[in-house]
Amino acid sequence: GNSVTQMEGPVTLSEEAFLTINCTYTATGYPSLFWYVQYPGEGLQLLLKATKADDKGSNKGFEATYRKETTSFHLEKGSVQVSDSAVYFCARISNDYKLSFGAGTTVTVRA
């Protein structure tokens, strides 16, 4: 089936630490992949995306590379800030244009 498996949290880091959130997917073909961020009490915001193999999405210091060999789309940031505290969702798009989300990873960055 089509699904997204995401590293479970919660993750707690100090400011300026390196962040990685693992995400793998199952699919037929090469679906577009996304990372969304949700701040407390809000909806989702698109953080970055990649539409084909080897694409690298980047935004606000976050990066993720579409790896077809490992069917992965891991999210990384080299130096996190307190303002990065949020819930992060990995997602993929299905043939009928529906988004499938991972379970979400709560990230807390401490000053």
In the complex, which residues of this chain contact another protein (CB under 8 A)?
Answer: 36, 41-46, 89, 96-99, 101-104, 106
Residue 51, classed as helix, strand or coil, is coil
- Closest approach, Cβ 104 to another protein, in A, equals 5
Residue 39, classed as helix, strand or coil, is coil
- Which residue lies nearer to another protein by CB, 19 or 105? 105
Distance CA 23, CA 16 (A): 22
- Which residue lies nearer to another protein by CB, 74 or 105? 105
- Closest approach, Cβ 30 to another protein, in A, equals 16
Cβ atoms of 65 and 17 closer than 8 Å: no
For residue 27 the two structure tokens come to 């699919």
- Closest approach, Cβ 79 to another protein, in A, equals 26
- Which residue lies nearer to another protein by CB, 45 or 79? 45
Cβ atoms of 24 and 2 closer than 8 Å: no
